[in-house]
């Protein structure tokens, strides 16, 4: 472990030899196929952006990246590579999309996991420059360290407590990308921070209550992780694309206050802050700018354009709980959050109307009938979740219809071929899956409701083979001879093409 001031001096010196190939108005190093290895591979720490000039996300990142480079100048270099002109370097480093940011240490790279905002880039790279745990031995170093980032974690441990030190080191190594960790073993120095018990952990913040303490019995890794993550999220922050992942990783219910003007935001802040304090560590509450993210209302059961509004979402199951009460007060919101958290309120499901007739070869499923049809334990159900605009779904449609007609013509069959419009209907929690893309094909077995993913080719023949392999009853479905022959011919042609290409 090293003193922070000494560390930063060493880092600045180590980068003094970097070639001055920057434009006069930029602190970002522009690299090429010819200069990349020379400028990057022998440096102890560097951030590199791989980009394309036409990329909209790259254009949005550019000014933030420039500001970060200026802030980190003479400490940590930031560089960029234009992949449209330097394809060899980008290919060598596995760049598959733009922008891609990688942290390089002596030639070895890891993915950059921070935000794409100026302050976030600076904070993330400063953490990368520090050891896992910084040893703090003087009051000045301690005070500077406490103010060095938005969230700082410091453990106060007795010099001979090796077990807690090892646990803390392991924790810091795991969370170093997200938090800054310090250690104080001088008991007199600890007293200046009003530490009365050892070991103790203090989380210093530049928001809310500024400081949160955890002390007493031996500190375990899981306890420390939960403590840090639950207390590092502001009570009522503004949510956007940059910090959404933080809330996802917390695993807690997320309550959104949708507002589209400052007056409504201030009003809802006053109403919800006591609620956020009461449910801290159980439910996260956030403000969301309805003028920018109004489209998110459909994901939480609200109507776009009707603001202000409040709703809760379970990010693990995608369940939604819109607040529909007329009482807009702290008491009403508190009761609503409590009932959602305790399970007294059922989630709202998007669902189309139940079809008047549903006796076609492919059974139509809507959200409100999902459990009745798909989870009917007397049936095997092969379900397609589709989107009306999806090209792959349109290609599959005639094959899926043909499959349904074959099954419908069977005697004493317990198999159902079904489809659900995933853009208009939610999967209930009992369905126990998320739709990651279209079409999604799932097979639910009778008696157990065991769910099996279909990841094979979407040909008629392969679908039939899959059904025969997994169905609980005897299914008299056969692949038409002409289809079998056509598939064999296509496979042969493909093999010959591959062999020809390899020659």
Which one of 155, 393, 403, 464 is the catalytic residue?
Answer: 393
Catalytic residue among 31, 46, 58, 340: 58
Per DSSP bridges, beta strands 363-365 and 415-421 are: parallel
Q: Dihedral through CA 222, CA 223, CA 229, CA 234, nearest 10?
A: 170
Residue 58 annotated as catalytic? yes
Sign, CA dihedral 95-96-99-101, equals negative
Q: In the structure encoding, which two tokens stand for residue 69, read together?
A: 């480079």
Rounded-to-integer distance, Cα 237 and Cα 276, Å: 11
CA gap 483, 485 in Å, rounded:
5
Residues contacting residue 245 through CB under 8 Å, at least 6 positions apart: none
| Nearby residues of 25 by Cβ (< 8 Å), 6 or more positions away | none
What would the DSSP string read from start to end of 59-81?
HHHHHHHHHHHHHTTTTS-EEEE
How far apart are alpha carbons 102 and 110 in whole angstroms?
Answer: 6
CA distance 101 to 80: 9
CA distances from 78 to 110, 187, 249 (A): 15, 40, 28
Which string of DSSP letters, residue by residue, matches 120-169? HHHHHHHHHHS-SSEE--SHHHHHHHHTSSSEEEEEE--TT-HHHHHHHH
Asked whether the CA dihedral 81, 87, 92, 94 is positive or negative, the reply is: positive
**Among residues 1, 30, 45, 55, which one is catalytic?**
55
DSSP readout, 79-94?
EEEETTT-HHHHHHTT
55 catalytic? Reply is yes
Q: Which residues pair with 108 in a beta bridge?
A: 105
Q: Which residues are CB-neighbours of 393 under 8 A, at least 6 positions away?
A: 384, 386, 387, 438, 439
- Active site includes 390? yes
Location of structure tokens 């379900």 = 383
Q: Is 259 exposed, middle or buried (0-12, 13-18, 19+ CB in 10 A)?
A: buried
Cα 354 from Cα 366, distance rounded (Å): 7
User: Is 83 known to be catalytic?
Assistant: no
The residue from 45, 67, 318, 390 that is catalytic is 390
Instruction: Supply the residues annotated as catalytic.
Output: 55, 58, 390, 393
């Amino acid at each position: 472990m090293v003193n922070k001031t000494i560390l930063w001096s060493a880092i600045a010196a180590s980068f003094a030899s970097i070639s001055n190939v920057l434009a006069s108005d930029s602190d970002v190093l522009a690299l090429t196929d010819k200069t990349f290895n020379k400028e990057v591979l022998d440096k102890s720490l560097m951030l590199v952006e791989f980009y394309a000039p036409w990329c909209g996300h790259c254009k949005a990142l550019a000014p933030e990246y420039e500001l970060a480079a200026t802030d980190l100048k003479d400490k940590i270099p930031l560089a960029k590579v234009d992949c449209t002109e330097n394809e060899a370097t980008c290919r060598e480093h596995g760049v598959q999309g733009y922008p891609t940011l990688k942290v390089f240490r002596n030639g070895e790279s890891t993915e950059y996991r921070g935000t794409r905002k100026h302050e976030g880039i600076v904070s993330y790279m400063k953490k990368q420059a520090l050891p896992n745990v910084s040893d703090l031995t003087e009051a000045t170093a301690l005070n500077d360290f406490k103010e060095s980032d938005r969230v700082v974690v410091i453990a106060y441990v007795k010099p001979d407590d090796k077990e807690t030190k090892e646990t803390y080191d392991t924790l810091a190594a795991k969370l170093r990308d997200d938090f800054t960790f310090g250690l104080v073993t001088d008991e007199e120095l600890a007293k200046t921070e009003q530490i009365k018990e050892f070991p103790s952990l203090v989380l210093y913040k530049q928001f809310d209550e500024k400081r949160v303490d955890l002390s007493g019995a031996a500190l375990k890794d899981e306890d420390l992780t939960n403590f840090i993550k639950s207390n590092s999220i502001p009570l009522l922050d503004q949510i956007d694309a940059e910090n959404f992942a933080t809330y996802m990783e917390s695993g807690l219910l997320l309550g959104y206050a949708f507002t589209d003007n400052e007056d409504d935001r201030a009003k809802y802040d006053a109403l919800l802050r006591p609620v956020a304090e009461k449910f801290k560590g159980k439910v996260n509450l956030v403000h969301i700018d309805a003028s920018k993210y109004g489209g998110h209302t459909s994901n939480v059961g609200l109507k776009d354009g009707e603001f202000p509004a409040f709703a809760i979402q379970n990010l693990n199951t995608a369940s939604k709980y819109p607040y529909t009460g007329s009482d807009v007060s702290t008491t009403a919101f508190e009761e609503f959050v409590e009932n959602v958290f305790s399970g007294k309120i059922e989630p709202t499901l998007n669902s189309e109307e139940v079809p008047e007739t549903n006796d076609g070869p492919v059974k139509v499923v809507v959200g409100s009938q999902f459990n009745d049809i798909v989870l009917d334990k007397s049936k095997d159900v092969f379900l397609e979740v589709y989107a009306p605009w999806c090209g792959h779904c349109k290609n599959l449609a005639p094959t899926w219809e043909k499959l349904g007609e074959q099954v419908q013509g069977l005697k004493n069959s317990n198999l159902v071929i079904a489809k659900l419009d995933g853009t208009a209907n939610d999967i209930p929690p009992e369905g126990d899956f998320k739709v990651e893309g279209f079409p999604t094909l799932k097979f639910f077995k009778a008696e157990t409701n065991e769910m099996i993913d279909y990841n094979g080719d979407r040909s008629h023949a392969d679908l039939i083979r899959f059904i025969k392999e997994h169905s609980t009853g005897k299914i008299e479905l056969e692949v038409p001879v002409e289809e079998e022959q056509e598939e064999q011919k296509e496979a042969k042609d493909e093999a010959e093409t591959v062999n020809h290409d390899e020659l």
